[in-house]
Amino acid sequence: MCEFCLDVITQGNRPPMTDQMWTLAAIAWDWYQLPGNDCGGELHVVLDDMNVEDDCLAFCRNAAIRAAGLGPIEHLAERVDPDVLLLIASTILDGLQELTEPERAMVVHFADVYGSKRPRKP
């Protein structure tokens, strides 16, 4: 998430990152490292497009459930079980659901999904 978008969502009042938020940012970064998730996979709307509202979390959850129900996706069949993908997606979405929208924006921002290093508390 760019600095400008982060300031819009947080209204210029960025909440501090908690341990829980750092953990979620790291899991989101891990999500992007999975085969086929380079654009966010089923969590694209939240993690890539930075839509952190409740309805967007629900949309992504439904997309992840639908994808898992289809069974292994051809390019993932030998690498990642769809049930594992659903578990990871649910972990991210459940964690974000517990946060305020500004906190969610901070997590997405610090996930730095295109960065070369897994985020961690400084």
Domain parsing of the chain, residue ranges: 3-7+17-111
pLDDT-derived band at 97 (thresholds 50, 70, 90) equals: very high
pLDDT at 16: 96
* More confident of the two residues 114 and 65: 65
Question: Cβ(52)–Cβ(108) under 8 Å?
Answer: yes
Quote the mean pLDDT of the chain. 87
pLDDT at 72: 54
Query: Tens of pLDDT along 69-91?
Result: 765 555 554 566 778 888 999 99
Residue 86, CB-side half-sphere exposure with 13 Å CA sphere = 15
CA distances from 106 to 43, 51, 56, 93, 95 (A): 16, 12, 16, 14, 13
pTM: 0.87
d(CA 94, CA 75): 27
Token pair listed for 121: 């508390």
